[in-house]
Amino acid sequence: MLEIEGLTKRYGATLALDDCTFSVAPKRLIGLLGPNGAGKTTLMRCLLGLVVPDGGTIRWSGGPLGEDRGRNFGYMPEERGLYPTMRVDEQVRYFAMLSGMAPAAAGRATADVVRRVGAGDLSGRRVEELSHGNQQRIQLAVALVHNPEILVLDEPFAGLDPLGVDQFGALLLDLAADGTTVLFSSHQLDLVQDLCQDIVTINHGRVVLAGELEQLQRATARRRITVVFAAAARRNWTAALDGVTVEKAEDRHVRLSLDAGGDLDRVLHAARTAGPVLRFDYQPPSLEELFREAVGR
């Protein structure tokens, strides 16, 4: 278990982290969310020991992180951290030795991890010759070569095409299934919703939403309703319904949000009196809706 408690960091007059507290369970995919400038990168750098917090504690497996935390963590920065003219195998082996591996062990680990990320046929090529997606694979191989328990990724999907996103996402799911805790930041909320079991949302340096995504969706009072009619429905059929907000209304398609004061049975009855109903979907809010609500508070 990774536990962050009361983490605070100030840069002059700017409070980058303000009493951040949350925990990360092992073998999970965790999405780290927040607007630009919210404090996500500062938080990741504190986890890695690249930035010293002004206050708070970081614990792993019940104990404090020491100076050798690099052996527990793998890090993939948003900006490239690779040497463009080095061959892939030389590059990954070099970073393996920087983590403390002996040359022979580093060579074996390099071969294994390059295959694991699906880049075995790229070992002899220079990084500058690779596509953006394949460079991402090599950057991930560098972060994984020392077999870390926690993988921290800063915007790993930035710039990838849809196929690259699918492949990279599947790889992260496999890593989590094999025992690695994966924490990654992203502005692609639909992608985070598809991949992650847990989320942490930061705004102005504070944690405003954290926990298992499904539990957070169940806990909110607001729900979304989509109604599809077989023909054009009677207009203004929702006017007398309490706790209902019309988000979108067309002749046959209506999208509503239902708050804690709304009655689902009354909504369904009103829809049926407005016209023949083909579909009536009742869904929890999406991650994007949860995010907007949390950040807007």
Rounded Cα distance, 35 and 295, in Å: 8
Residue 67 has pLDDT above 70, yes or no: no
**167 and 105, same structural domain?**
yes
**259 and 118, same structural domain?**
no
Question: Which three-class secondary structure state does DSSP give residue 236?
Answer: coil
Q: What percent of the chain has pLDDT over 90?
A: 52
**200 and 241, same structural domain?**
no
- The pLDDT, as a whole number, for residue 191 is 92
Q: Could you say which of 212, 241, 259 is where a domain stops? A: 212
| Overall pTM surpassing 0.85 (yes/no) | no
**154 and 186, same structural domain?**
yes
- The pLDDT, as a whole number, for residue 272 is 93
- The pLDDT, as a whole number, for residue 297 is 61
Residue 173 has pLDDT above 70, yes or no: yes
Q: Could you say which of 190, 212, 234 is where a domain stops? A: 212
Q: Pull the structure tokens for residue 156.
A: 């790993």
**100 and 36, same structural domain?**
yes
**275 and 200, same structural domain?**
no
Rounded Cα distance, 171 and 166, in Å: 9
**72 and 22, same structural domain?**
yes
Domain total in the chain: 2
Q: What are 231-260's pLDDT values in tens digits? A: 988 888 998 888 898 988 888 999 998 887
Q: What are 82-140's pLDDT values in tens digits? A: 889 999 999 999 999 988 899 999 999 999 999 988 888 988 899 999 988 889 889 99
Concatenated DSSP letters of 140-193 = HHHHHTT--SEEEEESTTTT--HHHHHHHHHHHHHHHHTT-EEEEE-S-HHHHH
Residue 186 has pLDDT above 70, yes or no: yes
Rounded to a whole number, what is the largest CA-CA distance in the chain? 75
Question: Which three-class secondary structure state does DSSP give residue 269?
Answer: helix
Q: Could you say which of 156, 183, 212 is where a domain stops? A: 212
- The pLDDT, as a whole number, for residue 206 is 94
**CATH number, residue 53:** 3.40.50.300
**292 and 187, same structural domain?**
no
User: 199: closest CA among 260, 191, 69?
Assistant: 191
**183 and 242, same structural domain?**
no
User: Residue 257 sits in which domain range?
Assistant: 220-296
Q: What percent of the chain has pLDDT over 70?
A: 98
Mean pLDDT of 146-170: 88
Residue 192 has pLDDT above 90, yes or no: yes
- Please, which pLDDT band fits residue 68 given cuts at 50, 70 and 90? low
- The pLDDT, as a whole number, for residue 263 is 86
**224 and 179, same structural domain?**
no
**272 and 182, same structural domain?**
no
**CATH number, residue 263:** 3.30.70
Who wins on pLDDT, 199 or 297?
199
**135 and 276, same structural domain?**
no
- The pLDDT, as a whole number, for residue 61 is 79
